[in-house]
Amino acid sequence: MASKKLFDAVPPFLKDVPTAEMYLISLEDLTSGDASTARRVLDACQELGFFLLDLRGDALGETVIDEVDNLFGAGERIINLPDGWFNISQDGLFHNETLRPLPDLLGLPPDTFTSRQSPTKLSGTVFRVIKSYASPEEEGYRTSMIHHADFGTITILANVVGGLQILAPGKEASDEQGWLYVRPERGCLIVNLGDAMVQWTCGLLRSKCHRINFAPVRPERDAAMRRLMGQGEDGGDGDLTAWEVKKMMALKSGEAVMESRGGKDREIS
């Protein structure tokens, strides 16, 4: 996500690569409380777990576009900075706004998710600037990170050159034909849900396997991971830290396989 200026500075996204069809959600319509937009957010979170958030036309969105433009130029300035430190607050306002319509449509209290992601509490929220080097030869092709689904609640990606791939529904990760590119769009963020949202909703919402390094926005470290609705394997009374450690150890030992989880095959009761 960036302005026309940054998109014009890089080669255009290829037209002949398999590309995922994604919902385009207007932040302006979302913040105005438009019911049809809220429903489309839920559909996107159940069907694919990914959507594009269009910032254009919204005051906060336009500010974010300008800040992302400035951030992308930070590499040219950062080596000249003196030693020092400063505080950066969590982006609670922005990502909580994105999740705001979901509780009502799921039949949950309005603060179900936001109360577990307070910007004043310790969490795994991180901000990353990532550079992935190209593989110049086909035989040397590699991904920047093995396919995975994020552990957190929501990931917000600002991307210009492309490279993010998601696994098509019903496809195996080992099938290279099953990976679809996500086309970056001017003025839009790429948003995806993490496994915490699947856990809390008993699989009603979906987290999608993808192959890129992301900056997850995560629940509070001490947030309980027991189900908030539905029946199924429960996270117990353990907090987020213990739940993530358990998932990571299972992945390392081969007891678990990273896959897309949750989605629209489950009915909301």
pLDDT cut 70: percent of the chain above it: 68
Q: pLDDT exceeding 90 applies to what percent of the chain?
A: 13
Residue 261 resides in a domain: no
Mean pLDDT of the chain: 76
Residue 83 lies in a domain: no
266 contact partners, CB below 8 Å, separation of at least 6: 202, 203, 204, 230
pLDDT at 98: 72
DSSP 88: -
102: pLDDT strictly greater than 90: no
103 part of a folded domain? yes
Residues with Cβ within 8 Å of 179's Cβ and at least 6 positions away in sequence, in order, are 18, 165, 166, 167, 168, 171, 211
The pLDDT tens digits of the residues spanning 155-188 come to 888 888 788 888 888 888 888 888 888 898 999 9
pLDDT tens sequence across 53-67: 999 999 988 888 888
Residue 90 has pLDDT above 60, yes or no: no
Domain limits for position 31? 4-73+89-129+141-253
Token readout for 76 is: 């040219």
CA distance 89 to 123: 12
Full DSSP string of 187-223? TEEEEEE-HHHHHHTTTSS-B--B-S---EE--BTT-
Query: Is 232 a residue whose pLDDT tops 70?
Result: no
Residue type, 6: L
DSSP state of 161: S
CATH code, domain with 170: 2.60.120.330
Is residue 243, in this structure, part of any structural domain at all?
A: yes
What is the mean predicted confidence (pLDDT) over 32-51? 92
pLDDT number for residue 135: 52
Assign 124 a pLDDT band (cuts: 50, 70, 90): low
- Beta strand 216-217 with 154-157 is antiparallel
Instruction: Give the model's pLDDT for residue 264.
Output: 60
Place 222 in a pLDDT band, splitting at 50, 70 and 90. Answer: confident
- Work out the number of other CB atoms within 10 angstroms of the CB of residue 100: 18
Residue 268 within any structural domain of the chain: no
Domain count, the chain: 1
Classify residue 265: in a domain, yes or no. Answer: no
Letter for the amino acid at 54? D
Q: Does the residue 269 lie in any domain?
A: no
Q: Return the number of other C-beta atoms located less than 10 Å from residue 260's C-beta.
A: 22
Helix then strand count (H, E) for the chain reads 9, 7
Q: Is residue 205 part of a domain?
A: yes
- Contact between 264 and 47 under an 8 Å Cβ cutoff? The reply is yes
Give the pLDDT confidence score for residue 261 in this predicted structure.
66
- Using one digit for the tens of pLDDT, what is the confidence trace for 133-157? 555 544 444 555 568 778 788 888 8
